[in-house]
């Protein structure tokens, strides 16, 4: 079914697969037609980097700005101290003020790549909800806002209901999260004329709670929009791999590993991911959708290049693309491969595989070697006790491979 919202932003959201649920579509469309509106997405500061599961929301903010609207990036300096129960079986560990601030500063580096910050009408702004949440007086908050929240509705929020049905502990601390997120929306509406809150589908209940609070306190209409829960075609959660999270910050994950994650996308996901995570025109995407068999690898390389350009840099994408081709064709190894330095001029193959994060344990390394999956300079090594020594090689670097897709360098000093 073809839906036309007659709105650049909403049309792009629909055509590229970003929309899961929208509150009051018709009036949201009218509000956007009147001119630049402000919209926000909140990001808690639980880690020094977001992972690729957050890229859908970041791209929503990017398209929001590119279609003439003002994005607000709300850092959860306050709500991080509470912990969002959405999608969690247990409470998050509580972080210190210093750690939250450190994480917040680190997160800013990614948003700078996707959004233009400044003082123009639709320039992005980054705010921290600790600025108002830290000042709340509990008694005053209950008196002024407590009657606006229904316990009946709160316990039926998906994040709350799942924990209760599973008889998993839900602390009163976490139970307050939805109230504080709703207060964020009210504050942003009052101070920044914010009309739209966006987020993942797990935030739908929290967003609707905020929409209702703004209506009750101001009689003003505001809106919510969520994106679908994103999983791979095999059912895996987006942003997670066997070796850990796929972080957006380069100091958490190398450019090479980031690029390779997208290059290794499952065939059935390539077009969906190109629509969501790149700005390639739909006509070009439709052309790529017709590729079959081994030709799909062309689309995977385009996906990896385009996402890496946005999130890391064009220089990184170009270098890695060439390096990957060289590795595939067994040409001279490019220095963009992930590498480790070997101080003692020798290292066991098992330790090399672990140091490059190709495996996590000795047992995994031994199984890889037994299965003929470990290579040194493109030669299969079958000896589990192999020691790599500098005197055995002409060059001071050795290429280590795990299977066909993971490659790294050992550099001897």
**Structure confidence by residue, pLDDT tens digits, 212-271:** 999 999 999 999 999 998 888 888 778 766 567 899 999 999 898 899 899 989 999 999
Pairwise CA distance, residues 278 & 269, whole Å: 13
DSSP assignment of 150-169 equals -HHHHTTSHHHHHHHHTT--
Chain centre distance of CA 402? 26
**Three-class DSSP category at 42:** strand
Which tokens belong to 393? Answer: 């090689």
- Residue 291 has phi, psi (to 5 degrees) of -70, 140
| Distance in angstroms (rounded) separating the CA atoms of residues 56 and 227 | 8
What is the structure's pLDDT at 216? Answer: 95
Q: Which pLDDT value is given to residue 344?
A: 78
| Res 130: pLDDT | 95
Distance (Å, whole) CA 302 – CA 288:
10
Exposed, middle or buried by CB within 10 Å (0-12, 13-18, 19+), for 57? buried
- Domain locations in the chain? 8-227, 254-328, 339-412
Nearest to 104 by CA among 65, 62, 50: 50
Q: Are 250 and 224 in contact (CB under 8 A)?
A: no
For the chain, list residues with pLDDT below 50. 1, 89
DSSP 50-106: -BGGGHHHHHHHHHHHHTT-EEEEEEETTGGGT---TT-SSPPPP--HHHHHHHHHH
- Residue 170: the pLDDT is 75
Domains 8-227 and 254-328 share a fold: no
Under 8 Å CB-to-CB from 122, ≥6 apart: which residues?
Answer: 36, 65, 68, 69, 70
pLDDT given at position 135: 94
Domain at 339-412, CATH homologous superfamily? RNA-binding S4 domain (3.10.290.10)
Q: Which residues on adjacent β-strands are paired with residue 346?
A: 389
CA distance 112 to 106: 11
Model pLDDT for residues 336-376, shown as the tens digit of each residue: 677 888 877 788 999 989 988 888 899 999 999 998 899 88
CATH architecture of the domain formed by 254-328: Orthogonal Bundle (1.10)
What single-letter DSSP state applies at residue 281?
-
pLDDT of residue 1: 44
3.40.50.2000, 3.40.50.620, 3.40.50.300, 3.90.230.10: which CATH number matches 8-227? 3.40.50.620
Q: Which residue in 24, 13, 61, 68 sits closest to 40, CA to CA?
A: 61
Residue 183 to residue 205: CA distance in whole angstroms? 14
- Predicted local distance difference test score (pLDDT) of residue 298: 93
């Amino acid at each position: 079914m073809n839906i036309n919202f007659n709105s650049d932003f909403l049309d792009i959201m629909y055509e590229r697969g970003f929309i899961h649920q929208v509150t009051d579509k018709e009036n949201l469309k009218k509000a956007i037609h009147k001119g630049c509106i402000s919209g926000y997405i909140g990001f808690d500061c639980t880690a020094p980097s977001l992972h690729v599961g957050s890229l859908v929301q970041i791209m929503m903010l990017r398209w929001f700005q590119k279609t003439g609207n003002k994005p607000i990036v709300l850092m959860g300096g306050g709500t991080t101290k509470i912990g969002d129960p959405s999608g969690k079986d247990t409470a998050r560990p509580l972080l210190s003020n210093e750690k939250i601030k450190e994480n917040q500063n680190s997160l800013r580096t990614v948003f700078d790549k996707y959004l233009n910050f400044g003082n123009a009408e639709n320039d992005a702004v980054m705010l921290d909800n600790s600025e108002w949440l830290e000042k709340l007086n509990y008694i005053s908050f209950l008196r002024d806002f407590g009657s606006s929240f229904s316990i009946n509705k709160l316990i039926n929020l998906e994040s709350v209901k799942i924990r209760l049905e599973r008889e998993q502990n839900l602390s009163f601390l976490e139970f307050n999260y939805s109230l504080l997120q709703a207060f964020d929306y009210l504050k942003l509406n009052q101070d920044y004329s914010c009309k739209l809150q966006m987020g993942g589908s797990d935030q739908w209940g929290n967003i609707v709670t905020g929409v209702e609070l703004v209506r009750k306190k101001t009689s003003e209409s505001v809106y919510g929009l969520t994106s679908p829960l994103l999983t791979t075609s095999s059912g895996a959660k987006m942003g997670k791999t066997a070796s850990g999270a796929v972080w957006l910050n380069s100091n958490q994950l190398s450019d090479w590993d980031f690029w390779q994650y997208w290059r290794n996308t499952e065939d059935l996901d390539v077009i969906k991911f190109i629509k969501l995570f790149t700005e390639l025109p739909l006509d070009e995407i439709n052309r790529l959708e017709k590729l079959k068999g081994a030709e799909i690898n062309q689309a995977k390389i385009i996906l990896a290049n385009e996402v890496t350009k946005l999130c890391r840099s064009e220089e990184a994408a170009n270098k890695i693309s060439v390096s990957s081709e060289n590795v595939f064709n067994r040409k001279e190894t490019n220095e963009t491969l992930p590498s480790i330095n070997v101080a003692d001029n020798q290292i066991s193959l098992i330790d090399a595989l672990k140091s490059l994060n190709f495996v996590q344990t000795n047992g995994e390394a031994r199984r890889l070697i037994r299965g003929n999956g470990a290579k040194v300079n493109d030669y299969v090594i079958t000896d589990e006790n192999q020691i790599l020594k500098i005197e055995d090689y002409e060059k001071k670097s050795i290429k280590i491979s795990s299977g066909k897709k993971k490659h790294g360098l050992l550099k001897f000093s």
